[in-house]
Amino acid sequence: MKVETDPNSAKAESATLAIHGGAPVRTEPLPLEFPGIHHMDEEEVEAAVRVLRSRSPFRYYGIDLQGEVDAFESEFAAFLGISYCLALNSGTGALHTALSALGVGPGQEVIVPAYMWVSVVAAVVNLGAIPVLADINDTFCMDPAALEAKITPRTTGIICVHMSGAPAEVEAVAAVARKHKLFLLEDCAQCAGGSIRGRKVGTFGDMAIFSFQMNKNMTSGEGGCIVTSDEMLFNRAVACHDTGYARDASGRAMFDRPELCLWGRGYRIDEMRAAILRVQLRKLPRVTGHMHASKYRLREALKRFPQITLRKIVDEAGDTGCFLLTTFPTARVAQEVNRALRAEGIVTSAQGVNDIVMTEWGLHIYFNIPSLVHKTGIDRANSPWSLAENRESRTEYGKGTCPYADSLFERSCLLAIPSCLTRRDEDDIIAAFDKVLSVIGS
Ligand SMILES: Cc1ncc(COP(=O)(O)O)c(C=O)c1O
């Protein structure tokens, strides 16, 4: 047992694990995750108040319109280096809208990874199409080889999700998409600011979505956006997210473009949130920089433990750092280490989910999504599963559908990396791993 001798450090603990009655490494909860929130201050307050003072919170007209949504869209597009950005009121709405813009509907299959968020499959199902699961690899994102094996004559597109803050192998996924003439939609909800060799996530496919919900790298509480380089896809998304009709430069609905007279969903964002997002975008490098520094200090420290395999990272410089994933040889070891770490105080307050075995990670895990596993329909006819157009599709969603993901989920733990961790917090996390791994799984 390696015991820290610095009397000022929380690491100076007895060798007895807290789970066996010893003193824990720390007693104060770790900070809650919520990356953008920790850096929110008077600047965001001023931005929201500016809009309220103008009494013009709607994006398309007002008595003293500030143009915050337009400005945010231009600034976010410039940040990514892409032509078009459309802000919306959620990432879920962004997925639904993007798939509508891409023309997804009955008779089509869209391939999604085993590790994602329920909104990804919901967007496909809500349009009458069939989600098809592809396994993940050690990046915890879509495995390009598994993806290719899932393509059928009915496949029209791929949703590649950059999970837990780090980019997927999206270049290889894009190559598969090109080879088979499929659309590629990137879901960057958990990876705003991420990149691969300097190229930002969100610029590798036909379209991409982001979420600005509270637990994201930048946030306005709720919010999202769609980005694309394709003018027609952009205009179709504008129409679908609003009333069904695209708007001209002055914000007026256009009825003389039949190809843009569609059906709307009411996913508009408001000026207040956009004003807040403009501030959060400026702070994004600071937020991800903080998380990245904490995460890579921890990763470096954990390399000395043979029991731990660290997540494969496509490009460390482009990892936004918001989660640390550790994999153990067996499910039993992962559970024991996790229980022991939590007993050592490596937890947030009760509302946080920052240190768990990944099978506990709720609706991120395909077999934890009851409506998917049970093929619950979106209407009385049980669409899309019952639709004649989807008759030939194979629909398998129970545990066992993606065996490598199943094995990774039960052997891996997820630790959120808040954007305000202090050196002392990091020391405590390292000390707790040190203490626990000297006893368990060695
Ligand atoms: C990968 C992923 N996609 C989509 C979403 C949906 O975003 P929102 O919560 O803004 O609807 C989330 C949100 O958690 C997500 O993690």
DSSP string, 75-102: HHHHHHT-SEEEEES-HHHHHHHHHHHT
Sequence spans of domains, the chain: 42-280
**What's the gap in Å between 212 CA and the centre of ligand 1?**
8
Instruction: Domain 42-280: state its class.
Output: alpha beta
Q: Does ligand 1 come within 6 angstroms of the Cβ of 165?
A: no
Distance 70 CA to ligand 1 centre (A): 22
Q: How many angstroms does the Cα of residue 395 sit away from the middle of ligand 1?
A: 23
Ligand 1 binding pocket includes 126 (Cβ within 6 Å): no
387: helix, coil or strand?
A: coil
Distance 97 CA to ligand 1 centre (A): 14
Gyration radius of the chain over CA positions:
23
pLDDT confidence of residue 353: 72
By CB neighbour count within 10 A (0-12 exposed, 13-18 middle, 19+ buried), where does 59 fall?
buried
> Is 97 touching ligand 1 by the criterion CB < 6 Å?
no
- Could you tell me how far CA 143 lies from the centroid of its own chain? 17
Angle at 146 between CA 393 and CA 408, to 5 degrees: 110
* Ligand 1 atom nearest to 161, measured from its CA: 1
Does the Cβ of 161 fall within 6 Å of ligand 1?
yes
- HSE (side-chain half, CA atoms, 13 Å) at 287: 26
Our answer to whether residue 435 is catalytic in this structure is no
Sheet order of strands, 355-357 included: 309-310, 323-327, 412-416, 355-357
Nearest-atom index, ligand 1, CA of 92: 11
Longest dimension (CA), the chain: 76
Residue 251: the pLDDT is 85
Quote the pLDDT of residue 1.
Answer: 34
Q: What pLDDT sits at residue 10?
A: 43
- 169-192 burial, b for 16+ CB within 10 Å, e for fewer? bbebbbebbeeeebbbbbbbbbbb
Which atom, in ligand 1's list, is nearest to the CA of 222?
Answer: 10
Kindly give the interhelix angle for 271-302 and 42-54, rounded to the nearest 10 degrees: 160
Confirm or reject: Cβ of 190 under 6 Å from ligand 1: yes
pTM for the predicted model, two decimal places: 0.96
Q: Which residue among 211, 216, 222 has the greatest number of ligand 1 atoms within 8 angstroms of its CB, and so is best to mutate?
A: 211
Which of 89, 97, 117 to mutate for ligand 1's pocket (most ligand atoms within 8 Å of CB)?
Answer: 117
Residues in the chain where the model's pLDDT stays below 50: 1-14
Give the Cα separation of 33 and 323 in Å (integer). 9
d(CA 276, CA 92): 20
Spatial contact of 198 and 260, defined as CB atoms under 8 Å apart: no
Determine contact, residues 378/125, Cβ cutoff 8 Å: yes
Catalytic residue among 2, 179, 181, 216: 216
With a 6 A CB cut-off, is 345 part of the ligand 1 pocket?
no
Report the separation in Å between the CA atom of 85 and the middle of ligand 1, taken as the mean of its atom positions.
17
In this structure, are residues 372 and 401 in contact, taking their beta carbons and an 8 Å threshold?
A: no
- The angle formed by the CA atoms of residues 238, 240 and 243, to the nearest 5 degrees, is 90
Q: Where are the alpha helices (DSSP H) in 132-200?
A: 144-149, 170-179
CA dihedral of 419, 423, 428, 430, whole degrees rounded to 10: 90
Q: 35 CA to middle of ligand 1, Å?
A: 14
